[in-house]
Structures are given as structure tokens and as C-alpha cells.
Chains A and B, each alone.
Chain A
Amino acid sequence: MEKNTIFEIKGLYRDDFRVTGYTFGKGEKAACIMGNFRGNEFQQIYTCSLLVDRLKKLEEEGRIKEGKEILVVPSGNPYSINVAKRFWATDNTDINRMFPGYDLGETTQRIAEGIFQVIKEYEIGMQMASFYMPGTFMPHVRMMETGFEDVEMAKQFGFPYVVLRKVRPYDTTTLNYNWQIWETKAFSIYTTTTECLDKESAKQAVKSILNFMGKQGLIDYKVHDGYISQTIEDTKLLTVRVKKAGFFDCKVNVGQEVIKGELLAEVVHPYEGMVIEQIFAPEDGIVFFSHNNQPLTYANTAVFKIVRSFSES
């Protein structure tokens, strides 16, 4: 294992801003795993830390394949984590909206550029990503439909789902998109949480990444079968919304099978305690996303996403 600073900016009063990379093996730049860019992505760093620990042991046992190099960058933004701000603290910009970056530009453009120069050299890129909606997800691999996406390869992680996302105008500045444009096979990996640690889910993700790298011939790893991934387009997920605002009382868990008409959640009047809305499953399916860890809901909010049962697709 080799620990390097891959990008640095001088701080005024704070310690210098440093992005640290851990390299395993030597040779062809085979795979890069990228942790957080936002200051609330604790689960993302945590998952990377478990991965570094595992790779360290695999390397000691001589199980990184000859001529293959793997880079793990646990954090692209330790500064924001340390001050508990979601974005870059001095100007509130999002590094994950600055790719491919610009070395003469604004601070976050420079950070994006500095990191991208290093990580775009890898054949496979995996980003531990988070979603802007607060809530819990089924673990999945997500990729954008740029024309460069490799769905079959994504299935080799053995996550329950591979989600395809249509490119929207504001996606063109994300790491995943630019990785693909620069011909890295890019995958965004979503575990269940962002701000809370879900140790089980993080371990599962590490196992999947190792599994995947085993199948790609980067490491010597006993391959577990995992799930046979189902591919879904994000627009095909069934969105269930609440109409009313109030306390959100969730009745089901992510990953749970639900049948049409089943009670999914209730909205409770914030002052008077009575149920003001009940939300039922509109179809048979599996809960893919849930607003479950949030005390309140706004009106018209998407509180569940459901994968319809096979029959329809």
C-alpha cells in the first residue's frame, strides 16, 4: 500500500486541503474507487475505509494481480466534512458539479480538475455516491446513459439492481458523466444511507466491489454469487407521493415486498395528532427508496420509489 497526496491547496488558517489516495498493486491503472465530495457523505468515506483495510490485507497476502493497480480515494473533500457543511464552505459550491474541472478556475473547479487528472487514467471508476433526497435506498449501481455505459459489466457487482439514468442537463458536470466521456467505465455505487452509518450495508458494498474486481481479474478473490442484478431505468421506478405535509410515519422498510393496497405510511397532523393522510401501495412491487428516516414530510413529496413486480416489464 502506498499513501499519497493527490491534490493540495494551501489553507489560510486551516491545515492545507489535502486529497489522499491509497494505491494497491503496481502497473496498469485498473480501477479507482472514489469516496465523498459532499460534507454529509459519511457512509461513503466509511465504505472506502473498510475497502482500504481489506485491500491492505489482500495485498499483504499477494492477492492483488500482477501488473494491476487499484487506487482508493476515501475523500475528495475532507474540508467540508470537518466543518459539517454539505458543500464547499466558502462559496457553497458542489465539487460533484464541477467536473471535468478547470485548473485556472474557481477553487472547486481546481479541486475537481486536480482529482480528475489523476483518476481519469483508470480503466474502471467507482464512485461512492449519494442522492439529494433524504431517505434510504436499496443498494444499487447507477449509471448514466451516455452511450458509453456498460450494463453487463455493472451486473457483475451482484447488487440487486442496476439503475440506468437518462442524462439531464445538470448531469454533464458530474464525475460519473465525465469519467464515461473520458472512456473510464464508470459506476456510481449507492449503499442504503448517507448521513448515518449503516455498517452492514457498507460491508455488503465492499464485498460487492471485491467480487467485481475479482471477476475483472484485478484481485485474487473467491467470487460469491451475489444477486442476479435486475436492470431498471430510473424513469420506470414508480414514484409514490404524499399530498399533505406533516409528521411522516413510515410502515414499511426498504427492500420489503408490498402488495397493491398495502399501507405504506401515514401523515400525522403536526399539532392535533390525527392521521390526515394514508399512503397505499399503488401496485405490487419492492420498496426501492423510502423517506423513512425523516420526521417530517413536505406536501407533494416523493416518499417512496417502488420497483414494480416482474410481470409488467
Chain B
Amino acid sequence: MIETFASVELPVDEILYMRKNRIEPEKENRNKRISIVTGVHGDELEGQYVAFELIRRIEEHKECLKGTIDVYPAMNPLGIDSITRGIPAFDLDMNRLFPGNEEGDMTEYIASQIIKDIAGSDVCVDIHASNIYLEEIPQIRINELHENKLLPLAKQLNVDYIWLHATSTVLESTLAYTLNSIEVPTLVVEMGVGMRITKKYCEQLVEGIFNMMHEMGIWTGEVSKVREPIVSKDGKVSFINANTSGLFVSKTEHWMNLKKGDAIGQILDPLRGKVLDEIVSPVDGILFTLREYPIVDEGSLIARILER
């Protein structure tokens, strides 16, 4: 059932509706609930297809559903509809506003209503899509504070990689941090690239969500076997940043089992027809982030490699 959990009047003849789809079993067993969230960043669209596919498959075999599923496809509807990462007009990153404030302005109010609505879920999955600059293999990022609770859940989600990262005060205003701090275990998935749909990644994650539902006992349908993700901490991750401005063109042929010295790409100078830099892997490892947007400034992130 489509539910509006918050709405705000915009200045000229428009109302902003915050909507979700609540799917419940016909009868019995409504005590467990999972929330699938996406669209906090308006230019990250991979979660859109996940939302669609998840709902489609559940509706097809509704008899297998033994708990409540809340799907929130658009946490930043104005952003999605205007190709804007943040909240348009306010120029704010929505993922820096949580837990929000019911008495605050429109953006803080919406943030507070999101938390209020998700509170009480047994699990929440917040799907992001990298940004328009980088492509990411399906991965989950976990603040090491929450490792014990989240790592076993993350392993159920059929991703390739789990990154346990150091805690940072800046991240305290994210949706995931806020939900985790009110005892809603929340997993942040990053995959694909901004402004695009990468169908195979979306399908991979949908399998993972069904698997998680199965493990929780709220899905009795068949699920496929999930992959074993690689788990690592910060120390093992190599960052490659552009050492000059130019046009980045990838030369990578594979993401897994990269060898030290393997080509990653080149930075080119189209005006002079010159190669400015040859970028090779500094380590043996797995390429889990790769530059997608070709124009780079000095310092732009080119790749992240997990050392093996």
C-alpha cells in the first residue's frame, strides 16, 4: 500500500510528498519489518531498479512473505527529479542532516520524519550508487563501531566487498549512523555509478535482499546461494589520485585479481595529443572503485584497490 509519511507545501502550487510502499503478508506474522531505502542522493539511481525489482518479485509470490517490507524509493524526491545530488534550492547534502528536527525547516523536518517512520524496523538497507565520477563494485561500508552487529548481516546481502572503515565525526549526521544509534541495524550499500542503472549489480543486490529476508524468516520462497564477500579494514586499501589534470581513459580489463603493475588507465592531454600519466596498480589486489567520469583535476580519485 502506498503511504505518505510526510508532506510539505512548496511556495508555488506544489506539495512535496514523501512516500513509501508498505507490503504486508495477507495475514499472520507482521512482527518483523525491513526497510529498503534509496534516493537520499538524488543523482544515485541504482536503487531505483532495486526497488522496482524487489516489489515486483514479492508481489509475484506474495504467499512467501511473512513479514513487513517498507520500500522508500525516493528520500530526496526533488533531487531525483532535478538531477541534483543534494536537496535543490537548499544546496544541502541530505545525508548530513540526520536525525533532523521536527520543529526545524523543511529539510530538517523531512529528515526527522524519515527517522520516525523507519524507527522500529528490524533491518534497514540504504542503497547508494557511488556518484557520477566513480564506478563501484557492489559493496557495503560499515563504521567499525557497529562491526559486531552489522558484519553478519552484511554477509547475507550478496555483495562482493565489505569495507570496515574508521569512524569520523562528520559521518554522525548520516541516515545510517542515526538509525544504528537508535538500534535499527542499517547497512549502507554502494554500487554502480551515479545517474545510471547497472542491471547486473541491481539484480545481484535483489538476490541478496531476498536472502536476508529468508535468513530473518520473513521470506519462504527460494533464494540463491550468495557470494562470499571480501572483508577488509582501512589499512589494506590503496587510493590512487590523479597527479595532474587531464582526460582519464581507463585501460582496465578486469576488476578482480589485479597484479602489481597492471594498467589501470592513462591521463591524456587532448590539446597536445600527449599522454600525461600512465596509471598502474601499485599492489596485487582487487579494484573496487574506478573513475568513470573522464575529466580529472589534480587530486581526483582514480581508483581504490584492496591489497591482497
Q: Does A2 contact B (CB under 8 A)?
A: no
Q: Which chain A residue has the least Cβ–Cβ distance from B247?
A: A12
Known: A106-B299, A107-B298, A297-B11. A10 touches B244 (CB 8 A): yes
- Complex interface: stretch among A47-55, A68-76, A86-94, A155-163: A86-94
Interface size bracket, A side: 35 or more
Q: Which chain A residue has the least Cβ–Cβ distance from B86?
A: A92
- Complex interface: stretch among A28-36, A165-173, A178-186, A196-204: A165-173
Q: How far is the CA of A298 from the CA of B301 in the complex (A)?
A: 37
Known: A86-B91, A172-B169, A300-B105. A9 touches B10 (CB 8 A): no
Q: How far is the CA of A79 from the CA of B9 in the complex (A)?
A: 36
A104 and B133 contact, CB distance less than 8 A: no
Q: How far is the CA of A299 from the CA of B171 in the complex (A)?
A: 28
Q: How far is the CB of B172 from chain A (nearest CB, A)?
A: 4
Residues of A within 8 A of B89 (CB): 298
Q: Does B182 contact A (CB under 8 A)?
A: no
A110 and B298 contact, CB distance less than 8 A: yes
B9 and A132 contact, CB distance less than 8 A: no
Q: How far is the CA of A104 from the CA of B242 in the complex (A)?
A: 9
Residues of B within 8 A of A247 (CB): 11
A90 and B300 contact, CB distance less than 8 A: yes
Known: A132-B91, A169-B170. A104 touches B239 (CB 8 A): yes
A13 and B271 contact, CB distance less than 8 A: yes
Of B106, B239, B241, B244, which one neighbours A299 at CB under 8 angstroms?
A: B106
Of A91, A106, A270, which one neighbours B11 at CB under 8 angstroms?
A: A270
Q: How far is the CB of A297 from chain B (nearest CB, A)?
A: 7
Scan residues 50-104 of chain A and give those whose CB is less than 8 A from a CB of chain B: 86, 90-92, 97, 104
A170 and B96 contact, CB distance less than 8 A: yes
Q: How far is the CB of A13 from chain B (nearest CB, A)?
A: 7
Known: A13-B271, A104-B239. A245 touches B9 (CB 8 A): yes
Q: Does A237 contact B (CB under 8 A)?
A: no
Known: A106-B301, A169-B173. A92 touches B11 (CB 8 A): no
Residues of B within 8 A of A302 (CB): 105
Q: Does A273 contact B (CB under 8 A)?
A: no
Q: How far is the CA of A90 from the CA of B244 in the complex (A)?
A: 14
- Chain A binding site: helix, strand, loop or mixed by DSSP? loop
A170 and B105 contact, CB distance less than 8 A: no
Q: Does B210 contact A (CB under 8 A)?
A: no
Known: A107-B299, A170-B173, A173-B170. A300 touches B104 (CB 8 A): yes
Q: How far is the CB of A5 from chain B (nearest CB, A)?
A: 15
B105 and A298 contact, CB distance less than 8 A: yes
Known: A104-B241, A299-B8. A9 touches B170 (CB 8 A): no
Residues of B within 8 A of A301 (CB): 105-106
Q: How far is the CA of A172 from the CA of B245 in the complex (A)?
A: 29
Residues of A within 8 A of B300 (CB): 90-91, 106-107
Scan residues 129-145 of chain A and give those whose CB is less than 8 A from a CB of chain B: 132
Interface residues of B (CB under 8 A from A): 8-13, 85-86, 89, 91-92, 96, 104-106, 109, 131, 133, 169-173, 239, 241, 244-247, 269, 271, 295, 297-301
Question: Assuming A110-B299, A246-B12, what are 20 further A-B pairs, CB within 8 angstroms?
Answer: A9-B298, A12-B246, A12-B297, A86-B91, A90-B295, A90-B300, A105-B239, A106-B300, A106-B301, A107-B297, A107-B298, A108-B299, A109-B299, A169-B173, A170-B96, A172-B170, A245-B9, A247-B11, A270-B12, A300-B104
Can you show 24 pairs from A to B with CB atoms below 8 A apart?
A10-B244, A12-B245, A91-B300, A104-B239, A106-B241, A106-B299, A107-B300, A168-B173, A169-B173, A170-B170, A172-B169, A244-B9, A245-B10, A245-B12, A246-B11, A246-B12, A270-B11, A270-B12, A271-B12, A299-B9, A299-B106, A300-B8, A300-B104, A300-B106
Interface residues of A (CB under 8 A from B): 9-13, 86, 90-92, 97, 104-110, 132, 168-170, 172-173, 241, 244-247, 270-271, 296-302
Query: What 7 pairs across the A-B complex have the smallest Cβ distances?
Result: A107-B299, A169-B172, A245-B11, A12-B245, A107-B297, A110-B299, A296-B11
